[in-house]
Structure 1
Amino acid sequence: MRYYHIIRISFLILFVLGASSSLAADSFPYKDVGDGSPATSVVLTLVDGIAVDRGGNIYISHRSKNRIRKVTPDGIITTIAGNGTVGYSGDGGPALEAALNFPAGLTVDGKNNLYIADRNNHRIRKVSPDGVITTVAGTGVAGFGGDGGPALSAPLHLPSDVEVGPEGELYISDRSNHRIRKIDPEGIISTVAGLGVPGFGGDFGLAINAVLKFPFGIALDRHGNLYIADRGNNRIRKVTPDGIITTLAGDSMHSFGGDYGPATYSNLAYPTDVVVDDKDNVYISDRNNNRVRKIDAQGVITTIMGTGKTDFNGDNEIAPETSLYLPFALAIHPDNKLLVVDRSHFRVRSVGLANFAVRTVAGNGHSLFKGDGGPGPGATLNTPSGIVIDSHDNILFADLQHHRLRKLTPDGIITTFAGTGREGNEGNGGSALSASLLMPSTLAIDHEDNVYVVHRLGNGWVIRKISAQGTITHFAGNGQQGSDGDGGPAVEASFYTISDIVTDKGGNVYVSDSTSRSIRKIGKDGRIHKVLDETMVPMGEEFHPNSVLVDDEGALYFSDSGSSRIGKLGADGTFQIIGGTGEFKDYGDGGLAVSAGIRSPGGLALRDGVLYLAEEQTARIRKIDEKGIISLVAGTGVTDFSGDQGPAIHAQMKSPFRMVFDHKGNLIFTDRDNNRIRKIDTQGIISTLAGHGNFGWMQDGLEVRITVQDFP
C-alpha cells in the first residue's frame, strides 16, 4: 500500500521507459464506469489498497469492483487491471481482461511492476509495465505450505498486503495464516514472522517464533526494518533486519489513547495499515478510532489526521481537524504527502506533511443506493449485516454502509424502514424513517416486534429501539468507549465493541462485547449488568464473544471467535463447551462437535434443538444436532459467489454473517461480502432474496439515489 524509497539507479531507466507503456492505461477501456473522467467525479466504494509510483501516479485497489484503478498526476482515473468480474483468469494476457477476486494491498517496484494481493484468489498477481498480468505466488487454494520452495507452489490464505524490498524481494502479509512471508529474487518463499496461530507473543525474540493475529498492512523503512499492522492485537510490530520482533505501538486494548507519549503505551483500534517516510516517521491507519497516527523517530505518538468523529466536514480544515471514517490504507507520495483511503467517506485524501493541507484526490463521496419499492434481487446492498424476522415473516436487515434498515416482505418487495442514509444519531422520539443511523450492524427483535439496532456513535456504540409503530428511541449506550455502567441505566453505559444483541422471551436484551470479553444483560427495567466474562469461562483471555442467542428455556449460547469454540450457559448457571477444540482449523464434520475444529465462529441460529453456526472466514455454515454431531449445511470453503438454485453445500459465499429462521423453517442469512440476502430452504437449496452483488459503482452524472421500478 505504498512505494519503496530505495531504488537502484539501474531501475530508473526502466521506470522511465515503462511510463509510456500500457500501464498508463490512456485508452480509457471502461468509460462506462468513469475511465477518462476526473478521479474526484467517480464513486469509490471498498477501496482496500493504495500505492504510488515515483512519477506520482496513484494506484487504487477497488475491491468492490474487482479492479485496479490508476489516477494520473493530472487527476484522470483509468482502469489498469481487472475486467470487473469476480474470479481468476487472464494470466499471460492483458491485465485489463483478467478477473480478480477482492484485490487488496498494492505495491510498485523500481521496474514499474505493480503487485496485487488478490485476496480471495489466495494469490499475488503482477502487472508488468507492458500490461501483462501473471501470478507470482499462491496456488489458489487457501492454506499454508511451501516454505523453502517456489512461491507458485505455496498456498496462501487471504493475503492482505504486499511490499517490495530493495533487492527485489517481495513481502506478503499472509493474513489468515497469521504470518508474514517473503519471496526472494529467485522466487523462493519463506516465513519471516509468525508461527501461524492467532494470538500475541514473542516480543524480543525471533520473529519467526512470534505470534500474530490477522496481520494486515506491512511496510519497510530505509534501514530494512519491517513494520506490521498486527490488526487483531491492536498493535504495530517491528522486525529488525536480524529478525528480532518488538511492539512499536499499542497495548492490545481496542481503544484510543496515548498521544504525546511513548507509542508503546498508546491504544489503537483495529490498525489496518502502516507506512514509513524517509525521515523514519511511522504512520498508522487507526481504523476504528477514525484517525491517522504518527510515531516520530523518538517513538512519540500523535494524531495527525482525524478528530474521532465521522461526519464528513470537507477538505477545508487542516488534517488534525478533518474527520475520517474508517481510514483503511496509506501511501507516501513523492511530493511529501500522505495518501489516506478514507474508506467510508468513499474518498482518497491527500495530506501535506509540511502544512497538513487536505485535498480529495479520488472519489466523489457517494455510494449507490437503489431498489426500494422493487423486487429484492434488483436492490443494491452495501454490507448487509444483522438480520431478524418479524411476526409477519418480513425479513429485516441492517444495510450497514447505506446507514439504513431495510425490509423484505414475504412477496419479495424491498423497502427502507429506518434511516435516511445520513450518518448520525439524530431523530430519537420521531419516525425511524426520518432518523439518521451510523453504520447499523446487528439487530434483535422481541415478541412485540420492537426492533433493536446497534450502531456506532463517536468512538463508542449505542443501541436504539424502533417500536412496531415505527418510533425510534435511545435504548442503551452513551457513545463512549469502555465497559462502565453495570448496575445503572443502560443509556449511561459504555461499550467497547458490540458484536451482537439478542432478546429472550421475557423481553430482556443481551449484548455481546467482544473487546471487553463480556456478555451483558439489559432488563425490562432498563438497567444493565454483566452475566458472563472471561473470569467465568475456561477460555480466559482468549474469550471474545461474537454472536449470542437465548433459547426458550433461558440458556445462553455464544460463539467465541477468540478461542474458536461454541459455549452454552444454562439457565441454572452451568457452563459447557458444545463445539470446537480451540484449534483454528476446519475438521470433524460427521463427528462430535466438541472434537471438531471450528474457525472463528460467528452468527448463530437455533431451530428444533439444532444449532446453526456461520464461519465467516471459511465461508461455510455448519450445524450441531441434538446428539452433538457437527455437519456441513452450506459452503465449499471457497470465498466467492455461486450455487444459487442448487444444493447449498455446493454453493460459495463471502462472509456469511448473521442468520435467522423464518416461520417456514427456511434459513435466511446475510452473505455480507457478496452484498446479498440468501435463503437455504428446508430441502437444502440456496437462492438469493435480495441484492445482486454490486454496489457503489456508477457512471459519472447519474443521480446518487434512485428508485428502480423495473428490473432487467
Structure 2
Amino acid sequence: MDMATIAMCPAKAPMTTTPSPKLDDGICLSATWNRTGVIVAGLKGYGSALDRLKSPTGIFLDNNDVLYIADSVNHRVVKWMPGASSGQVVAGGNENGKNANQFNYLSSIVVDKNGTMFICDRENDRVQQWFANDSQGQTIIQNFSCWGVAMDKDESLYVSHFREHYVLKWPTNQVVAGGNGEGKNLDQLGYPSQIFVDQDHSVFVADSQNDRIIKWSIGAKEGIVVAGGNGIGDDANQFSRPAAVIVDDMGTVYVADNWNNRIVRWPKGATSGTVIVGGKNASDEMTKLSTPEHLTFDRHGNLYVADTGYHRILNDNSTCTFNSGSSSLQPSILTQAQSLRNQARQYQLEAKAASELSQVEYRFGCKSQAKVFIH
C-alpha cells in the first residue's frame, strides 16, 4: 500500500479562488445556493393537467435527474424528465380511492434501482409497491399511517408512522426510532413526518410536533437531537413544524422548515442554522416558499424543493468556492485530488500544495491530519 502522490505542475500564477473539493454528494463546506429558484415542475401552477401540480408533498430524484413527484391532491405520482414542460403519470391518477390503482393523498415516494416505486398512501393507511409500467400497485404495509418513506443503501425501506409516533424498517418490521408513545423525551417522537437514512443506517427524523430533527443510530434506544429542539419559533435555533430532513456527507443537516417557509442548513455540532432558501426576508415569488414539505439534492449539490403551497418544484443551483487565503493552489492538483475523495466521506477536504514537494496532504475538517493511502 503506497501513499498517494501527485506530481506538481510547472509554476503558474497564484490563484486565490478555485473550485472547492467536493464529497460524493457534490456539496462542499463553502456551498451557497441561488436564492432565486427555477421552476422545474408545475410550471403552470395549481391544477390537474400534466403541466400542473396540486400540493406536491414528496419528491425523489434518480441518478439521471428524473423527478418522481408525490402529487398529493391529484392522488398520483408524476414522473418529470429534465427540462420537460409537463410530466407523465406513472402511478395513480384515477381520482382518490382505496382500489389498487388509486391513492388517497399520498405523501412520499422512493424509487429503487429497478424503477419500482414505494409510496406512502397516507389517508389509506398503507404503503404501496408499484412496479414500473404497471397499472396498479400492491400493499406491502397496511393499517399504517405512513407519512415519510426512505431507503437505505441496501434498499431496505424505512417508513414513519405518523399517528403512532415511530419509524419502522421493512421487511424486518423492526422499530428503529420512537415506539414509546407521543412525547418529547429522547426515546419518543411526536408525529414524525419525512425521514432520511444515511450510509451508516442512522435514521434522521423530522420530528414535527417537537420542532426538532432527531438522529437514531442503528440499535439505539433513544435519539440525539441534531437540530432544533428549542421550542417552536423562527429564530436561528428553532423550527416551526419541520417537515423533511436530508443530511450530506459532512453530517450537515438540511431541513424543510414548513411553517417558517424556509430551508435551513444546520452544520454538524452547531447550535443554530442558517436560511439558504426562502424565509421571512424573501421578497418575490421566485425567492419565497410556501409550506415546503420535502427537499433533495442532485449529484452536483443542487437543491430541489417541494414548494407545496405554491404547487411547484423549485431548483436552486449550488456554487462552491475555495478561499485559500495566502496559499497558492494549482487547479490541476485539485482536479487530481478529487479522484481520492471517495476515501474521505463525511469529511471536508482541503488541498494544500507546496512547491518543493511531490505529494498532496489532506487535512480533514475534524482537525485531525492524515495522509491518504491507496491500495
> Structure 2 length normalisation: TM-score?
0.65
Partner of residue 6, structure 2:
none
The letter for the 2-side match of 1:382 is: K
Following superposition, the deviation at residue 675 of structure 1 comes to 0.7
Kindly provide the CA deviation profile for residues 263-304 of structure 1, in whole angstroms up to 9, marking residues without a partner as x: xxxxxxxxxxxxxxxxxxxxxxxxxxxxxxxxxxxxxxxxxx
Instruction: Indicate whether 1:418 and 2:91 are aligned.
Output: yes
- Alignment partner, residue 117 of structure 2: 451
- From 244, 250, 270, the equivalent of 1:603 is 244
Measured after TM superposition, the shift of residue 624 of structure 1 is 1.5
Please state whether the residue corresponding to 2:107 is helix, strand or coil: coil
- 1:632 corresponds to which residue? 275
2:176 alignment partner in structure 1 = 531
Question: CA separation of 1:606/1:472 partners in 2, compared to 1, >3 Å: closer, same or farther?
Answer: farther
Q: Distance in 2 between matches of 1:561 and 1:398?
A: 19
Matched, 1:511 2:159: yes
Partner of 1:623: 265
Alignment partner of 1:476 is 2:123: no
> 1:564 matched to which residue of 2?
211
Check if 1:381 corresponds to 2:24: no
Question: Pairwise mapping of residues 429-444 of structure 1 onto structure 2 (< 5 A)?
Answer: 435-444=101-110
Of the three residues 561, 564, 583, the one matched with 2:231 is 583
Cα deviations across residues 328-356 of structure 1 (Å, max 9, x unaligned)?
A: xxxxxxxxxxxxxxxxxxxxxxxxxxxxx
Q: What amino acid maps onto 1:598 in structure 2?
A: F
Q: Percent identity?
A: 20
> Could you tell me how far apart the structure 1 residues matched to 2:93 and 2:190 are?
36
Query: Are the structure 2 counterparts of residues 584 and 501 from structure 1 closer, same or farther at C-alpha, using a change threshold of 3 Å?
Result: same
Equivalences for 1:377-416 in 2 at 5 Å? 379-413=51-85, 414-416=87-89
Partner of residue 48 from structure 2, selected from 342, 364, 369 = 369
Q: Which amino acid aligns with 1:560?
A: D
Paired position in structure 2 for 1:467: 131
Conservation of the 8 A alpha-carbon contact between 1:464 and 1:472: no
TM-score, structure 1 as length reference? 0.36
CA contact (8 A) 1:668 1:680 kept: yes
SS of 1:441's partner is strand
Distance 1:418 1:605 in 2: 25
1:659 alignment partner in structure 2: 295
Q: Give the 3 Å change call, closer, same or farther, for CA 465–601 of structure 1 in structure 2.
A: same
CA distance in 1 between counterparts of 2:68 and 2:288 reads 23
- Identify the residue that residue 4 of structure 1 maps to in structure 2: none
After superposition, the CA RMSD in angstroms is 2.6
Could you tell me which amino acid in structure 1 is paired with residue 173 of structure 2? Answer: I
Aligned to 1:593: none
Dislocated runs of 4+, deviation >6 Å: none
Partner SS for 1:477: strand
1:618 is matched by which residue type in structure 2? N
CA displacement 1:490-519 (0-9 Å, x = unmatched): xxxx22x32211111112111111221111
**2:325 match:** none
Q: CA deviation at 1:547?
A: 1.7
Partner amino acid, structure 2, of 1:519? V
| Per-residue deviation, 1:679 | 1.0
Secondary structure of the structure 1 residue equivalent to 2:137: strand
Q: How does 1:132-281 map to 2 (within 5 A)?
A: none
Equivalenced residue count is: 269
- Cα pair 2:149 2:160 within 8 Å, conserved: yes
CA–CA distance in structure 2, aligned partners of residues 676 and 424 of structure 1:
24
More helix by share: 1
Which of 546, 550, 557 is 2:197 aligned to? 550
Structure 1 residues 677, 554: CA separation in 2 closer, same or farther (over 3 Å shift)? same
- State the structure with bigger RCO (CA 8 A, min sep 6), 1 or 2: 2
Deviation at 1:386, TM superposition (A): 0.9
Asked whether the equivalents of residues 387 and 397 of structure 1 are also in contact (C-alpha less than 8 Å), the reply is yes
The 8 Å contact of residues 263 and 278 in structure 2, kept in 1 or not, is answered as: yes
Provide the rounded CA distance (Å) in 1 between the counterparts of 2:135 and 2:246: 28
Deviations 1:340-398 (A, max 9, x none): xxxxxxxxxxxxxxxxxxxxxxxxxxx9521x3xxxxxx22111111101232101101
Deviations 1:626-660 (A, max 9, x none): 3435211111337x98353xxxxxx2111011111
CA shift at 1:606, angstroms?
Answer: 2.4
SS at match of 1:673: helix
1:447 Cα deviation (Å)?
A: 3.5
1:557-580, Cα deviation, whole Å (9 max, x unpaired): 111112111111113526311111
Q: Secondary structure at the match of 2:53?
A: coil
Name the amino acid aligned to 1:582.
N
Distance in 2 between the 1:662 and 1:472 partners? Answer: 29
Unaligned runs of 5+ in 2: 1-45, 321-375
Query: Which residue is 1:165 aligned to?
Result: none
Q: Which runs of 5+ in 1 are unaligned?
A: 1-366, 373-378, 428-434, 479-493, 589-595, 645-650, 685-712
Q: Which has the larger radius of gyration?
A: 1
Aligned-pair CA distance for 1:676 = 0.9
CA-CA distance at 1:409 after TM superposition: 0.5
Q: What secondary structure does 2:309 align onto? A: helix
Q: Provide closer, same or farther for how the CA distance between residues 637 and 499 of structure 1 changes in structure 2, counting only shifts above 3 A.
A: farther
Q: CA deviation at 1:424?
A: 2.2
